[in-house]
Amino acid sequence: MSLFMAFDPHTIRQEFSILQQPAYEHELTYLDNAATTQKPNVVLERILGYYQTANANVHRGAHFLSDRATSQFEHARQTVSRFIQTPEGGQIIWTKGTTEAINMVAYGIEHLIDPGDEILISSLEHHANLVPWQQLSFRTGARLRVIPFTSDGTWQAEYANYFSDRTKVVACTQVSNAIGVQLPVKEVIQHAKNVGALSLIDGAQAIAHYPIDVSELDCDFFVFSGHKMYGPTGIGVLYGKTDALESLLPYQTGGEMVLHVTYQATEFNTLPFRLEAGTPNIEGALGLAAACDFLQQQNQEAMLQWEQSLAEKAYSILENTSEIEIFSPKKNSTLISLAVKNIHIMDLNGYLDSKGIAVRGGSHCAHPLMAQLGVSGTLRASFACYNTMQEAEHFAHSLLEAIELLSED
């Protein structure tokens, strides 16, 4: 039996209670997974279980509940570490999400950046992996340079010329949130290593779909959010090599991240605690670990093939409509991103919503990329493990209905 045939989204769908409800008297078709995924019952139960059996602050109390909470919290850290296959000497730092993780690095390395240094990003970045580096360049006098990837993400030989001895950090998304293109992150990381630059990979859009091995990638930093991989909101991860993390000045200071404090000086704690100021999102960490377990219990290769087949099905239905311009790849994408001539994407979004179909219309926090594509925004349908072929077809045919209806106005 093929991997494709072995995957059953209908069974998995039963684990997501929220999907059982209607939307405007229609069956709910949730296709906004690139923005946030729904949560399986095991994640919800893990969060509730923490509050019912282990609610206490971690690392500080010397009593039964605090010991239990601390043990579960640190076990969650190890679960995430195994999930992304961290090497020896790798560290997991809890954050609020991808955005905070990137800001932690951008602020943490500011003391290493001098006027005239260069910071490289790609042209397909989410604002979360653009604005922090832009602002770092403003604060330090460094130069922000943009590797001009085309919308298919192809590596061009001349891109190597963007790397030089002035390059101090390279930040690149693994998969574009707006158009689903995979970028050649291994090439980016290798060129960063060749010039002695730090490398950061934004894995927010990859983490729910692709197996991640940070040992193989060999990047200095890897960041992602829990809520895009079936975990809770408000929790994320900054992975870093120990020496890279030790080069960061703490982004926030306060409790937990100190060893000793006087009025004259502060001695910071060791990793990972020196980068985790204050009471952490304990239940979020436990929920994220449960999401990691949920994903590892699936046939992830079959899951990926299924999600890609849903995007391909929608693509095949829509590709021959002259009014539609599709920006996402036909193959090997888990989303479809498009625009329609002479019809505003929010009008299309509204029509689909009225049919119970949740998609995303807008710039997807990628204004420069939208300008590169020549549109103000796109309509994006993004697929997850619980989506069905019927939903992909329902989306595509409903979009064609919307185009026909709105073209008559």
List, by residue number, the catalytic residues: 365
Q: What is the CA radius of gyration of the chain?
A: 22
Parallel/antiparallel/unpaired status of strands 335-340 and 378-382: antiparallel
CA distance 36 to 21: 18
Beta strands across the sheet bearing 167-173 = 90-95, 236-241, 221-225, 198-202, 167-173, 118-122, 143-147
CA distance 19 to 29: 8
- Please list the alpha-helical segments (H only) found in 231-331: 242-246, 282-296, 300-318
Strand-pairing partners, residue 378, are 362
Strand, coil or helix: what is 90?
strand
Strand, coil or helix: what is 119?
strand
Percent helix, strand, coil in the chain, to 5, is: 45, 20, 40
The answer to whether residues 386 and 38 touch, using CB atoms and an 8 Å cutoff, is yes
CA distance 251 to 271: 13
CA distance 214 to 220: 9
